[in-house]
Amino acid sequence: MKAILLAGGSGTRLAPMTAVVTKQLLPIYDKPMIYYPLSTLLLAGLREILIISTPHDLPMIEKLLGSGADLGVSFSYAAQPKPEGIAQSLIIAEKFLNGQPCCLILGDNIFYGPHNGIEQAASLTKGSFVFAYRVKDPERYGVVTLDAAGNATSIEEKPAQPKSPYAVTGLYFYDSEAPAIARSLKPSPRGELEITDVNRAYMQRGELKVGILGRGTAWLDTGTPDALLDAAQFVQTIERRQGMKIACIEEIAFRKGFITAAQLEKLAERYGKNDYGAYLRSVLEE
């Protein structure tokens, strides 16, 4: 399965922090935001990743992440000229996907906790799979209801009266039909190709499965100043307590066997004596 990391958008809620740089390059505690969704993909074993951002931000993201070769993975890059919706990423990615199923993750979503469900979803070949998470303010998200077998029974974008507390998270798995479905959509009143409409199309075919991320999992989005700070403090709390890093992409690449110890050592050298470099060396010594 191939993966798409969508890291554009306008970031209006975070302005002026996003006046000259995409939110995905803002820090969440000790690393750029984009490392977090990227780590989710790597932990799921996905190694062929298309990164989509604005024409302005794409060169900076490419400078940060490069070809992926030093992590034993492959990054490709594509621009989304205007933020015309999350579902548009499936159209932009169509050539890259080349008829394969895909995983789409949003650049401002942080997942922390057991990853087994996500790894399993990455073997999907037919239909679609999304993750739902219980939140206090479902009206801000796509909201889904499901039956006992995990089939979606309704899905609505930002409903005034949510039918359930379950928000659809920014991690989606689709079969090879997704780009064609996205192409068949009309823009919503807010002028976007809505990912909820892609999901609804699958639901209408009886092909939208929903997995609940349990209360032992943290799903954070980072679109507002408060959410950004909450996420940073969450990461700081766990990292300080455990002495282990969340979303350290070099460590993940090593533990997954994408790179050798010698390659990790070389990556550590980049950071000299700073804490990040020391951490990478501690992984090697373990």
Site for ligand TTP, rule CB under 6 A: 6-14, 80, 83-86, 88, 106-108, 192, 223
CB 64 within 8 A of CB 34: yes
What is the C-alpha separation between 124 and 192, in angstroms, rounded?
27
142 versus 251: smaller Cβ distance to ligand TTP: 142
54 versus 128: smaller Cβ distance to ligand TTP: 54
11 versus 258: smaller Cβ distance to ligand TTP: 11
Q: DSSP strand E in the chain: where? A: 2-6, 27-28, 31-32, 48-53, 74-79, 102-106, 109-112, 128-134, 142-146, 152-157, 166-174, 208-213, 218-221
In the bound complex, what is the minimum distance in angstroms from residue 157's beta carbon to ligand TTP?
A: 11
Residue with tokens 């939140």: 135
CB 247 within 8 A of CB 266: no
135 versus 283: smaller Cβ distance to ligand TTP: 135
In the bound complex, what is the minimum distance in angstroms from residue 208's beta carbon to ligand TTP?
A: 20
In the bound complex, what is the minimum distance in angstroms from residue 182's beta carbon to ligand TTP?
A: 12
In the bound complex, what is the minimum distance in angstroms from residue 277's beta carbon to ligand TTP?
A: 28
172 versus 279: smaller Cβ distance to ligand TTP: 172
Q: Which helix (H) or strand (E) holds 44?
A: none
In the complex, residue closest to ligand TTP by CB: 9
In the bound complex, what is the minimum distance in angstroms from residue 148's beta carbon to ligand TTP?
A: 31
Cα-Cα end-to-end distance for the chain: 32
